[in-house]
Amino acid sequence: MPTISRFYGIIIYMYHDEHGVPHLHAKYQSKQCAIGLDGNVLEGQIPKKQLKIVRLWIFENYEALISNWNLAQEGKPMVRIAPLD
């Protein structure tokens, strides 16, 4: 799975072939979930604190995430997105 960012122990990756809506996957320790770019959890779970951080990151990087989603739809390589500071 293409990793597009890492911060605070959270790994963010994206691929387009499931769930049917623009989304990303977040992994923290042994937990992982799929999160729509609207911030809604589609499947799985991560701790609430980390979910809040990921939602903030989505909000701050929404345009870049949509761009990556479109690249993935076209089968093109995605770009890394800066982590939270």
Condensed to tens digits (0 to 9), the pLDDT of residues 10-54 reads 999 998 776 678 999 999 999 999 999 999 999 999 999 999 999
Q: Long-range CB contacts (< 8 A, 24+ apart) of 5-13?
A: 5/57, 5/80, 5/81, 5/82, 5/83, 6/83, 7/53, 7/57, 7/83, 7/84, 8/50, 8/53, 8/83, 8/84, 9/50, 10/46, 10/50, 10/53, 10/54, 12/54, 12/57, 12/81
The pTM (predicted TM-score) of the whole model is: 0.92
Place of tokens 């799975």: 1
